[in-house]
């Protein structure tokens, strides 16, 4: 249902003022957090000098956003140095701030190199595709395959994912696409130890560190863990590896994770938890 390039697109209205493309058809009641963050990064990347690429983003979801109305993005340059550029992006709907992001861009320097090794996982071709037979699945253009879970019910999971259509050879597109995709399954690690428990959930904050070049239209292994859930909040982390085994990005997110009345699940959570947070 979601065309990725449309989901990432922003229109420049003025020098530092951008607007998300008109909403696409969606089963979600609230705007998808990954899309909001991806568009904020697209707006913040606009006009960036050659040689600079995003290396980290940090955001807070301040208010819920509806999916039927466009979201505006205001961009301010906080720092413009020789090696680093820092920009602040504010998302607004109905004139109220809904999401705040700080994005840092780096021109790249020589330095030492090391990285975590890629964890063991079956090849994606050996696994079943999630949502393949569901005509109402929100992310039908994504191929997402869950690695069978641990029998001890630990708060972790692994998924392979890729976008099924070719994407442009543009690092900004792939960075925004990864920002979008990183929010699709991370909740699953937090709910893995609590099957069958009704919850209400919403993203609170969100960070990504981009380590190495990657393509989102090729397989990526998302190794996810939730070290803690307490007081109605759950903390989650993810390491993202390329098919060749390189660590390309790391993600951290805290979510509201409240117990709900067993007979009550929000409409957007039916669409999100059951179909996305595998």
Query: For the chain, which domains are there?
Result: 4-108+125-272 (2.40.160.210)
- pLDDT recorded at residue 25: 61
- pLDDT recorded at residue 266: 47
Q: Nearest-CA neighbor of 200 among 259, 148, 118?
A: 259
- pLDDT recorded at residue 26: 67
- pLDDT recorded at residue 258: 92
Query: CA gyration radius for the chain?
Result: 18
- pLDDT recorded at residue 109: 86
| pLDDT of the chain, 278 residues: tens digit per residue | 568 999 899 999 999 999 997 656 666 768 899 999 999 999 999 999 999 999 999 999 999 898 888 899 999 999 999 999 999 999 999 899 999 999 999 998 889 999 999 999 999 999 999 987 776 678 889 999 999 976 567 899 999 999 999 999 999 999 999 999 999 999 999 999 998 888 889 999 999 999 999 999 999 999 999 999 999 999 999 999 999 999 999 999 999 999 987 555 444 433 333 334 34
H/E segment holding residue 191:
helix 187-191
Residues 144/159, Cβ–Cβ less than 8 Å: yes
- pLDDT recorded at residue 149: 76
- pLDDT recorded at residue 139: 85
- pLDDT recorded at residue 270: 35
**Three-state secondary-structure class, residue 36:** helix
Burial class (CB in 10 A: 0-12, 13-18, 19+), 116: exposed
- pLDDT recorded at residue 271: 34
Give the count of beta carbons closer than 10 Å to the beta carbon of residue 93.
19
Residues 107/122, Cβ–Cβ less than 8 Å: no
- pLDDT recorded at residue 275: 36
DSSP designation for 82: S
């Amino acid at each position: 249902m979601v065309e990725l390039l449309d989901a990432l697109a922003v229109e420049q209205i003025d020098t530092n003022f951008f607007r998300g493309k008109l909403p696409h058809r969606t089963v979600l009641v609230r705007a998808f957090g990954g899309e909001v963050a991806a568009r904020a990064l697209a707006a913040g990347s606009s006009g960036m000098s050659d040689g600079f690429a995003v290396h980290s983003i940090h955001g807070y979801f301040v208010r819920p956003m509806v999916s039927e109305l466009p979201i505006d993005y205001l961009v301010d340059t906080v720092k413009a140095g020789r090696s680093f550029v820092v920009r602040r992006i504010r998302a607004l709907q109905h004139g109220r701030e809904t999401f705040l992001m700080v994005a840092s861009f780096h021109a790249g320097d020589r330095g030492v190199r090391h990285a975590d090794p890629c964890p063991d996982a079956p090849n994606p071709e050996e696994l079943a595709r999630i949502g393949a037979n569901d005509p109402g699945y929100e992310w039908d253009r994504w191929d997402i395959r869950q690695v069978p879970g641990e029998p001890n019910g630990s708060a972790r999971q692994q998924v392979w994912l890729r976008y099924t259509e070719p994407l442009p050879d543009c690092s900004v597109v792939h960075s925004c696409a990864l920002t979008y995709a990183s929010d699709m399954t991370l909740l699953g690690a937090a709910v893995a130890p609590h099957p069958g428990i009704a919850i209400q959930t919403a993203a609170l904050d969100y960070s990504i560190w981009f380590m190495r070049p990657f393509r989102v239209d090729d397989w990526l292994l998302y190794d996810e863990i939730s070290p803690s859930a307490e007081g109605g909040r759950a903390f989650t982390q993810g390491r993202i590896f390329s098919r060749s085994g390189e660590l390309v990005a790391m993600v951290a997110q805290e979510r509201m994770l409240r117990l709900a009345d067993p007979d009550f699940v929000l409409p957007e959570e039916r669409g999100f938890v059951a179909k996305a947070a595998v």
